[in-house]
């Protein structure tokens, strides 16, 4: 009889016989940091009964999925705290996000920093009550009755009803199919709060401990639609331990110190004048120097790699983007058209063309296709590598515009490679190696790759072509030896892509270069070349942006280096500071010699006192400060002061000059 009440399951890879009503709580009773379990690959609450034959895996609070559950549960504690302090608050949604969570609320007044402090205290009180999360499956009618006072939850139920009816549009918050409510149960077994949620959650609030913090509040449109009401969103973070929370807060503080918008102003690199509009930066002389150095070096490397430079206009007639498909698939990202009523012959005044729309270009690729198609092409010309620093314009929503890293007007280091199918794989491999090597020259060397595949709702071309393109890119990425991560549905409408993800000096990941393989645009533009056998063939097209955009790349480098650029990129490479005015002429002769060697150097002969000059040079993060006083002049030497405050005294002039020149020529990473 006992055997009839037994079932066989696999637990963390080992088969075990357990009771028929065993729950995850009982199964992992000795694993105090297990927060949820995976049952046949699906995350479930520990309180759920395990079915016969199931494959069960414990998920620790430190695992990525365990952290997500911890943060989602902390979001629910936040929502409970808000409704206890503000009983009239209406609930939106509260998902986990990278490193944290948020929850949206409809409240009468925006939340203030003082409100967040009060909410943290209330949350800690709830956490210390060791409340249990209890999952209940309910019918739609029951959910509507229990949550009749929550209008936004009712809207989510409407979306789920529509999803269950049509198979589309399921709510992120509650999924599709079954409807579940989570009750918060106190020590006396009473329900003290409830929420519509698909879960799962940690077993009790005890696992949340006090390793959480509320970080900020902001406005957010309901479900991200600006046509909906603006709610108040509270952001927070949660970690397994206080030590983890403190480490995260230190990382955030360091990121704030490195914020390129702050450093851009302090170092006089760039600005965002209100008169120009959101997302349209201007580069000041010092920022212009960095940008020019980046571009000049890139041009040199591209010439060595066999690229040819082209230039295309900023606007074009509407028809070009009808052919390319951008007006079908990318119109929301384009600025509205400019309408030209008619065009006239400049000599006769006769109307030569009726009115039509012109668009600012969001991409360079259609114009590069026109260059390829401008005359007959032979297989002997392939691969043909066209390169352009091309300015493009994208109508980013105001809420996502962010300094240099998300702008509306940008310059892409854009290349398009036309090759045969036989050349395709080698060309992709060579392109990826070229990209990685060049990024290393700019100081980024910690990479992994991401493979973005077809969006089933947003693509052109046949499934067979997409499969071939995706397979080829995956092989090239794998052969590189770098870690490869999947990005399902993340491809552009015309082809899959591999993107280089680079980690910066403090471990953050930035998407850098992208390489896209495209069989579709050559078809849409009817591109052809004459093959060796005399037949007309379609080229394969490879899209490649190395920096992504000059603006974004400069923003990333500014944060990577915390404004202390390597010598070759630094706007000012050397400042010469005399100990007293009497040594101005001595240092000036050294300054002139450095200028003759191409070094960006300046003599600070201002009336400021010596200590202030040193502080100013330090704030400007100048790589080399040359100092000279009486002993230096007598010895025919100078003293070096570096950015870390260290000094090297009495360096002979010739040796000092060569040290600086070599640091520039070798692109030394200081």
**Binding-site residues for Zn(2+), please?**
365, 416, 543
Q: Tell me if residue 416 is catalytic.
A: yes
**Using omega within 30 degrees of 0 as the cis cutoff, is the peptide bond preceding 154 cis?**
no
Q: How many other C-beta atoms are found inside a 10 Å radius of the C-beta of residue 276?
A: 13
Q: How far lies 446's CA from each of 92, 490, 546, 667, in Å? A: 39, 22, 16, 18
Rounded CA separation 5/27 (Å)? 16
* 8 Å CB contact between 112 and 155: no
Rounded CA separation 283/547 (Å)? 17
Rounded CA separation 648/639 (Å)? 6
Catalytic residue among 365, 419, 504, 600: 365
Q: How far lies 120's CA from each of 320, 348, 556, 632, in Å? A: 55, 76, 33, 60
Catalytic residue among 260, 286, 543, 560: 543
Closest CA to 419 of 322, 330, 489, 515: 515
Q: Tell me if residue 155 is catalytic.
A: no
Rounded CA separation 505/566 (Å)? 13
Which helix (H) or strand (E) segment is 132 a member of? strand 132-138
Rounded CA separation 565/290 (Å)? 9
Q: Tell me if residue 414 is catalytic.
A: yes
Catalytic residue among 416, 560, 621, 641: 416
Residue 606 pairs in a beta bridge with none
* 8 Å CB contact between 520 and 495: yes
Q: How many other C-beta atoms are found inside a 10 Å radius of the C-beta of residue 450?
A: 19
Q: How many other C-beta atoms are found inside a 10 Å radius of the C-beta of residue 143?
A: 22
Degrees to nearest 5, angle at CA 143 with 139 and 148: 150
Q: Tell me if residue 60 is catalytic.
A: no
Q: Tell me if residue 197 is catalytic.
A: no
Beta strands in 420-505, from DSSP E residues, in sequence order:
447-452, 484-487, 497-503
Beta strands in 528-610, from DSSP E residues, in sequence order:
529-530, 536-537, 540-545, 574-578, 601-603
Helices 421-441 and 463-479, axial angle in degrees (round to 10): 50
Give the pairing of strands 6-11 and 55-60.
Answer: parallel
Q: Tell me if residue 533 is catalytic.
A: no
DSSP secondary structure code for residue 272 in this structure: -
Find the Cα–Cα–Cα–Cα dihedral 272, 275, 279, 280, rounded to 10°. Answer: -80
Closest CA to 571 of 267, 304, 240: 267
Catalytic residue among 232, 412, 501, 537: 412
Two tokens at 495? 């082809």
Reduce the DSSP state of residue 388 to 3 states and report it. strand
Catalytic residue among 194, 394, 408, 552: 394
Q: Tell me if residue 149 is catalytic.
A: no
Catalytic residue among 198, 368, 497, 560: 497
Helices 285-304 and 550-560, axial angle in degrees (round to 10): 110
Beta strands in 175-211, from DSSP E residues, in sequence order:
179-185, 191-196
The residues annotated with a catalytic role in the active site are 365, 394, 412, 414, 416, 497, 543
């Amino acid at each position: 009889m006992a055997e009839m009440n037994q079932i066989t399951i696999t637990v963390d890879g080992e088969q075990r016989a357990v009771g028929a009503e065993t729950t995850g709580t009982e199964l992992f009773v000795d694993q105090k940091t297990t927060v949820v379990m995976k049952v046949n690959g699906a995350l479930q609450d520990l309180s759920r009964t395990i079915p016969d034959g199931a494959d069960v895996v414990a998920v620790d609070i430190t695992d990525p999925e365990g952290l997500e559950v911890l943060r989602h549960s902390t979001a629910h504690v936040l929502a409970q705290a808000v409704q206890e302090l503000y009983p009239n608050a209406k609930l939106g949604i509260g998902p986990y996000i990278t490193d944290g969570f948020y929850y949206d609320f409809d409240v009468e007044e925006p939340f203030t920093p003082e409100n967040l402090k009060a909410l943290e205290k209330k949350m800690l009180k709830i956490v210390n009550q060791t409340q249990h999360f209890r999952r209940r499956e309910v019918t739609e009618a029951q959910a509507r009755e229990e949550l009749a006072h929550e209008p936004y939850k009712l809207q989510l139920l409407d979306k789920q009803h529509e999803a269950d009816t049509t198979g589309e549009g399921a709510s992120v918050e509650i999924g599709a199919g079954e409807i579940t409510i989570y009750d918060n149960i106190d020590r006396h077994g009473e329900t003290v709060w409830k929420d519509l949620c698909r879960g799962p959650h940690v077993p009790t609030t005890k696992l949340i401990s006090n390793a959480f913090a509320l970080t900020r509040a902001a406005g957010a449109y309901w479900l991200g639609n600006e046509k909906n009401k603006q709610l108040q969103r509270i952001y927070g973070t949660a970690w397994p331990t206080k030590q983890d929370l403190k480490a995260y807060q230190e990382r955030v503080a360091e990121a704030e110190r490195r914020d390129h918008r702050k450093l851009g102003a302090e170092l006089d690199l760039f600005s965002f004048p209100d008169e120009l509009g959101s997302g349209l930066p201007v580069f000041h002389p010092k920022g212009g120097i960095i940008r020019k150095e980046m571009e000049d070096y890139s041009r040199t490397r591209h010439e060595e790699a066999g690229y040819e430079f082209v230039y295309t206009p900023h606007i074009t007639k509407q028809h070009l983007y009808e052919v390319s498909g951008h007006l079908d698939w990318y119109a929301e990202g384009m600025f509205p058209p400019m309408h030209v009523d008619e065009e006239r012959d400049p000599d006769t005044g006769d109307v030569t063309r009726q009115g039509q729309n012109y668009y600012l270009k969001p991409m360079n690729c259609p114009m590069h296709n026109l260059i390829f198609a401008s005359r007959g092409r032979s297989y002997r010309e392939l691969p043909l590598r066209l390169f352009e620093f091309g300015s493009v314009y994208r109508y980013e929503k105001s809420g996502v515009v962010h300094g240099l890293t998300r702008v509306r007007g940008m310059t892409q280091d854009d290349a398009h490679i036309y090759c045969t199918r036989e050349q395709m794989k080698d060309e992709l491999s060579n392109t990826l190696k070229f990209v990685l090597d060049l990024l290393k020259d700019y100081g980024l060397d910690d990479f992994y790759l991401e493979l973005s595949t077809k969006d089933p709702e947003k693509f052109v071309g046949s499934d067979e072509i997409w499969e071939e393109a995706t397979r080829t890119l995956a092989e090239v990425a794998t052969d590189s030896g770098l870690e490869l991560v999947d990005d399902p549905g993340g491809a552009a409408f015309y082809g899959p892509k591999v993107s280089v993800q680079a980690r910066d000096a403090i471990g953050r990941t930035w998407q850098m270069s992208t390489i896209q393989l495209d069989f579709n645009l050559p078809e849409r533009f009817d591109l052809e070349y004459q093959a060796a056998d005399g037949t007309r063939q379609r080229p394969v097209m490879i899209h490649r942006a190395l920096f992504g955009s000059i603006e974004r790349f400069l923003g990333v480098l500014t944060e990577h280096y915390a404004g202390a650029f390597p010598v070759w990129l630094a706007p000012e490479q050397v400042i010469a500071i005399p100990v007293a005015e009497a040594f101005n002429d001595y240092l000036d002769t050294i300054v002139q010699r450095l200028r003759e060697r191409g070094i960006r150097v300046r003599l600070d002969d201002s009336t400021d006192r010596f200590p202030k000059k040193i502080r100013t040079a330090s704030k400007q993060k100048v790589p080399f400060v040359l100092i000279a006083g009486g002993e230096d002049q007598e010895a025919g030497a100078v003293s070096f002061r570096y950015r870390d405050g260290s000094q090297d005294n009495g360096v002979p002039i010739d040796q000092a000059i060569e040290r600086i020149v070599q640091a520039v020529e070798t692109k030394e990473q200081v």
